[in-house]
Chains A and B, each alone.
Chain A
Amino acid sequence: MKELVVISGKGGTGKTSVTASLAVMAGNAVVADCDVDAADLHLLLSPSVMEKHVFRSGHEAVIRTDDCTGCGTCRYNCRFDAVKPADHSIGNPVYTIDPIACEGCGVCVHFCPVNAIDFPEQICGDWMISQTRCGPMVHARLGIAAENSGKLVSLVRQEARRVAKENGHNTIIVDGPPGIGCPVIASLTGSTHALVITEPTVSGEHDLKRVLKLTRHFNIPTFVCVNKWDLNVSMTQNIESLAQRSGAKIAGRIRYDTNMTQAQIQGLAIVETKSPAADDIRSIEAFLTTGKE
């Protein structure tokens, strides 16, 4: 099974637009949107949701105000400033937990002298299996300020693999999250290839270095593609030689093309429109599948 993960380090480099195009060209791959924090792929692939599931993860501390004696042990013990100060101007001060700051470690729960803190499982979002014009899609929505996006990413990938296996698809295309932190690591590990979409800017170059360190760390064969390459030709050359030096292959270049935005506005993958950037992406896809330009 081939599992290609499209990542970028820096956000907004055109990762999702390229992923959608690769999905359309593959025709019958399973698509997984692992950018669960700000999932956008559905805006281009207009999936119809077949199954929807709740995503639960970790626990959350909740103080029962009726039982709280206001002793402040929880506030003293919490390392995450998640216990809001009690209002001592009123008769019987009680503490409350800020659910957004709560890390779910359980320290307050365990050390509350009157056992006034509950520790229920937390609902962190939901995940879906859908049908699109280019095959099945697994995607998710993380709740606001929810934790464990890494786990949700793993879940989305696991489901994508299951769907692929059960229905005889041999390719999974993953839209990865930006950055290099926990959700990125979760979308990279165990994949067969990574495609990094970057841009010829100082930020693009800087972030690419960090992302390539990560793909090397996890030993994943990596391709690099500079989007909007003609914005800064010498930077594009720098980036490409930097990528090659760290063992990545250059998959091709995509030129600066405002059709990219226009395709997005129409809810289409750029390869579904006639445009120069679409031609560029087609040759990148050819390189990825055959290894030849």
Chain B
Amino acid sequence: MKIAFTTSGDNLTAALDSRFGRASKFLIYDLEQNTHMVIDNNQNRNAAQGAGIQSAETVARFGVDALVTGHCGPKAFRTLKAAGIKIYNSSAGTISDALEMYRSGKLTEANSADVDSHWT
């Protein structure tokens, strides 16, 4: 199973980015292999509009099962749900903290978007 985290860093000690659509990178962690890879989201961050939709498409393309991020808007939420990706909102400082919380079952799955839409 693979989890995506929003970030601007390159490893597990990096900070969790609170934004999803306009996050600069995604760190995708493989729970079975205990390995990770980092993918760029620059294209989407600068999208005219609908960055959340595009970002959701990107993580879906990498076969992610869950996403941990700060906030998720309504369009991204709809897209992620359609792709069958579970969403967890977290205010954890770093990716490793968020991952730990996920592993110990401290994160609860979001059942709606938690911020407004439109280019923020």
Contact = CB atoms under 8 A, between A and B. Distances in A.
Whether the complex brings A and B within 8 Å at their CB atoms is answered yes
Interface of A: 57-58, 148, 150-151, 153-154, 157-158, 185-186, 189-190, 218-219
B119 A218 contact: no
B48 A189 contact: no
Contacts, number: 30
Contact of B118 (A57, A58, A158, A189): A189
Interface of B: 22, 48-49, 115-120
Contacts of A151: 48-49, 119
A189 B120 CA distance: 7
B49 A219 contact: no
B89 to A, nearest CB: 16
A148 B22 contact: no
Contacts of A57: 48
Contacts of A153: 119
Nearest to A157: B120
Nearest to B117: A189
A190 B120 contact: yes
B46 to A, nearest CB: 8
B116 A58 contact: no
A185 B119 CA distance: 9
B70 to A, nearest CB: 12
Nearest to A59: B48
A190 B49 contact: no
A142 B102 CA distance: 44
> Most chain-A CB neighbours within 10 Å: which of B49, B116, B118, B119?
B119
Contacts of A186: 118-120
> Most chain-B CB neighbours within 10 Å: which of A57, A153, A154, A218?
A154
Contact of B119 (A58, A154, A219): A154
Contacts of B116: 189-190, 218-219
Contacts of A219: 116
Contacts of A190: 115-116, 120
Contact of B120 (A58, A148, A154): A154
B98 to A, nearest CB: 21
A289 B61 CA distance: 47
Nearest to A183: B119
6 contacts: A148-B48, A154-B120, A157-B120, A185-B119, A186-B118, A189-B119
Nearest to A148: B48
Contacts of B49: 148, 150-151
A157 B119 CA distance: 10
A45 B120 CA distance: 26
Given A150-B119, A154-B120, A219-B116, 16 more contacts: A57-B48, A148-B49, A150-B49, A150-B118, A151-B49, A153-B119, A158-B22, A185-B118, A185-B119, A186-B119, A186-B120, A189-B117, A189-B119, A190-B115, A190-B120, A218-B116
